[in-house]
Amino acid sequence: MSSPADHSAGLDARVRLSRGAAEIDVALRAEPGQVIGVLGPNGGGKTSTVLALAGVLPLAEGHVRVGGQLWDDGRHRLAPEARHVGLMLADSLLFPHLRAVDNVAFGPRSRGVARQQARERARTELERVGLGDREAARPSELSSGQQARVALARALATDPSLLLLDEPLSALDPDTRARTRSDLAARLTAYDGVTVLVTHDPLDALTLADHLVFVEHGRVTQTGTPAQVLSEPRSAYVGTVVGLNLYAGQGDSHGHVRTADGGLIVTTGPTEGPVWATVPPSAVSLHLHEPEGSPRNAWRLRIASVTMQGQSARVGLVGDVPLTAEVTLESVTALGLQVGQEVWAAVKATEVRTYPR
């Protein structure tokens, strides 16, 4: 087993490998204590990247350095068991016959720590995740959220330099997920290593991560802090994640943006040349007839979908300028909105934001 790495050196990785038809080239860097959120569509390369960091998949090229220690450079690689990695998956994978304290102690025990010392460390970790009073419970006696916290305690009980969380909350129901997300955030604040969080859930990423990395088709399409990504998404997928209508287009000095599909969008803040244009779904109003007052942006579109979300609905619209509108349930009822119906969508020019591509 390798000697413990220096947490102060953080993560420096360039993951380059082939997996099936996918060619993956993803760079990740983080300082100690940082949480990197990795997002992307299915098949984009997120899990392959995590498996390469863990040593399960070998690199073809690139490198993985953690805590100043070289784990893989495409020629020489540390075996997974020699890497100081903690791993937590959607399925907590707890041993059903073991009590919580022994599930957590399994991590340090597997690295050669004496039984009593491992159990003492396990009790400390259970206290840190708020389960000190449930150390004697078996998994079947714990809620799904409590099981997830036990799995997190087990991953951290080995003092990993790198903590890998692959969809850790995806198996939880919404209420449990919210509570467990809060518990996870509190525990990660006290962790001095680097965390890589893979998730499809924007809320997980935006609330837990310090830095976001979007991976699509094996490549990084955007990186930045949550605030940077929210303000300036740079791919259709990122726009969907942050909840904005996003268009690639060509802007002129008059505030006109001609989209790649030939649509026209008008803004009061012109940006010339290749631009991105964003429209918040909440800024889109729907009408059965062409709206009066000559709004700067009004398009006749067809409803492709209506999805209820609490007290509002998201209406997908197709046409010259495809849009998602967020309207009240009262509007859905009053306008009789249904799939296949043609409506007018209006957006004030002041609600359209543009920035260079």
Delineate the domains of the chain, giving CATH numbers in brackets: 7-231 (3.40.50.300), 244-356 (2.40.50.100)
Q: At what angle do helices 100-110 and 144-156 cross, to 10 degrees?
A: 30
Determine the average pLDDT of the residues in 196-213: 92
**Which tens digit of pLDDT belongs to each residue from 37-88?**
999 998 889 989 999 999 999 999 999 999 989 999 988 999 998 999 998 8
Q: What is the pTM of this model?
A: 0.84
Q: Could you tell me what percent of the chain has a pLDDT over 70?
A: 97
Q: Is pLDDT of 180 > 50? A: yes
Q: Is pLDDT of 9 > 80? A: no
